[in-house]
Structure 1
Amino acid sequence: MVRGYYFYSCFSTCGIHNKKIVSVVVDKSLKPIDNFNSQLGEINLNSEQIKVPTDQLPEELLPTASAVNQFIMETHELYKREKRVTSDIAHELKTPIAELLSLSEVAIKFPHEEQITSQLASDVQQISNRLKNIVNGILLLQKSSTTTALEKSDINLVQLIENTLKRENLNNREISFIKNQNGYTVKTNKVALDTILSNLINNAFYYSPDNSPVTVDISEDKDNTVVQISNLCTNGCNEEDLNRFFEPLWQQDSSRTSTQRYGLGLAIVKSYCERLGASISVSLGPDKQITFTLVI
């Protein structure tokens, strides 16, 4: 009986001791995770530091920490982009709104001035159309960024480009349409692709001299169809500008004096390309020839 009690006491003591060891080991093992969580909690979208240090983390935690840091950096870049876009939208809307207020104030102050009142309606209409175009562009950019699945179908790319060229070439410009066959068939969303081509072709017509040709070249590269749209660049862009072409509301003219272009077309192109699984790039040739390359 005494011997049984002795063995029971030893077993109980060993069990308690083992529990303490397990508890210490678990606490020590979880300490890096606790430290990581603590450092992660100090990071927000306005923090100067946007990465959790990983030099003191055990090897087992490095993949998780790297993935978290990557997510933080991407979110931070998206946040900065949204802040800039919001600021740019406010800037774009501020000018026509100020013009409308100024016109109304002048008309109220001088109601009998025929020279002022006779032009008021047409001026208001022009500014209102500008506002409408800005808002429509912003809405289209938002629509192109949604996650809703796009319905895809077989599209004759040559026919679609020919229709787009006829629609966008209002001044009957010279066009060089290079194609090796009459029907390049691609399976994609027709509305999205038409929007992409319309913006690229319209951009080529607008930013090139009236006496210069616009070139559209279709070719095949392995399993991809490649569309290149080229024009002579007249606005003196450089390699640094090319990197910003697809940013929403970016305009090369820092004073933003244009009343026709709002820096949304190429951003919409980029957004739709991402949704279609296509790619878009731009390059500048030695003779001021700028080329947009769409790979579908």
Structure 2
Amino acid sequence: MNIILGSIILILLTVVLLQVKAARQKQADLKYIQDKLNQIITEKTDERLLLQTDDANLKLLLIEMNRLLDHNLMVVAKYNKTEMAMRKMLSNISHDLKTPLTVVIGYIEIVLEDSNLSDNERKDQLEKVYRKSQEVLDLINKFFDLAKLESGDRDMPISRLEINEICRNNILSFYDILTSKGFDVDINIPNQSLYIFANKMALDRILQNLISNAIQYGSDGNIIGIEVRYDEGAIFIDIWDQGKGIQASRQDQVFERMYTLEDSRNKQYQGSGLGLTITKRLVEEIGGEISLSSIPFEKTTFTIKLKRIKY
């Protein structure tokens, strides 16, 4: 009897010792986690919590905490990228505003100070002032449009739209410009009515931006096309040209703020760099996606993908 009682006591003591050891180990593990988290936060490192443990609950906690660290790292990286992009954008906008404003001031000084100007010469100078002022206003409007889109401060009521007629109307609205520049136009829009839920003003702006972009940068090819394709769940709108295109190494950059394709020595290819950024934000606002494929002087295509509805 004494032997049995002694054995029970020994087993109980062993269990208690194991529990004490496990509690101390858990305490040590939690202390490690606390110290490591404090180090990661203080030193702003991208380290993870690495700990060998047999505790299933502690393993789950470590997994979730590492997920949180990964998420935090992505948020910080995105913030830093956005901040750098904003600084670059503000710098470029300052430069782009300064240039036409300097020209405007120069023209105005001529008009004010040169008393020998004829009426025709004075009118010519004022027309130049007007055109440059329009450039400044256009840039400012684009900047504020982008700011509103990125802050979510833009009301976009959604309605059922027939995509066929909207695409036709937008390409036809450029008829005079395309004719004057000698462009051929290839329109491939199916007769079957196709529908989406979107904001009409946003969709018009998207198409107009892409068509304007194709005219500006695709002039070497003298042809512009619009094609509407579809499958069971989606509608695809392609705006394409056969101009100078975009090299593969630069295609990921075209939707970034203030990115432009221009050669600074070639005024033909200069732009504000905000048009495609605004276009991408608008596409995302109406629940779509936009992509680019380009083979220079062969075919450059911007594709909008939108969810199709069948009623």
* Contact 2:161/2:195 (8 A) holds in 1: yes
Q: Of 162, 166, 189, which residue of structure 1 is paired with 2:168?
A: 162
Between the aligned partners of 1:86 and 1:272, the Cα distance in structure 2 is 21
Between the aligned partners of 1:256 and 1:26, the Cα distance in structure 2 is 67
The aligned residue for residue 5 of structure 1 is none
**Closer, same or farther in 2 for the Cα pair 1:257/1:213, shift >3 Å?**
closer
Counterpart secondary structure, 2:225: strand
The aligned residue for residue 46 of structure 2 is 52
TM-score norm. by structure 1 comes to 0.78
Q: Structure 1 regions of 5+ residues with no counterpart?
A: 1-20, 44-50
The aligned residue for residue 4 of structure 1 is none
- Letter in structure 2 aligned against 1:274: E
Between the aligned partners of 1:125 and 1:218, the Cα distance in structure 2 is 38
Between the aligned partners of 1:177 and 1:34, the Cα distance in structure 2 is 65
Between the aligned partners of 2:97 and 2:67, the Cα distance in structure 1 is 45
Between the aligned partners of 1:236 and 1:164, the Cα distance in structure 2 is 22
Counterpart secondary structure, 2:230: strand
- Letter in structure 2 aligned against 1:251: T
Q: Of 113, 117, 129, which residue of structure 2 is paired with 1:114?
A: 117
The aligned residue for residue 84 of structure 2 is 80
Q: How many residues align?
A: 269
The one-character-per-residue Cα deviations of 1:2-25 (angstroms, maximum 9, x if unpaired) are xxxxxxxxxxxxxxxxxxx98996
The aligned residue for residue 133 of structure 1 is 138
- Letter in structure 2 aligned against 1:68: N
CA-CA distance at 1:38 after TM superposition: 4.2
- Letter in structure 2 aligned against 1:191: M
Q: 2:253 aligned with 1:244, yes or no?
A: yes
Q: Structure 2 regions of 5+ residues with no counterpart?
A: 1-21, 53-58, 307-311
Q: RMSD over aligned Cα, in angstroms?
A: 3.1
* Contact 1:154/1:187 (8 A) holds in 2: yes
* Contact 2:280/2:290 (8 A) holds in 1: yes
Counterpart secondary structure, 2:292: strand
**Closer, same or farther in 2 for the Cα pair 1:254/1:38, shift >3 Å?**
farther
The aligned residue for residue 148 of structure 2 is 143
Between the aligned partners of 2:162 and 2:289, the Cα distance in structure 1 is 19
Q: Of 254, 267, 275, which residue of structure 1 is paired with 2:277?
A: 267
Q: Identical aligned pairs, as a percentage? A: 21
TM-score norm. by structure 2 comes to 0.75
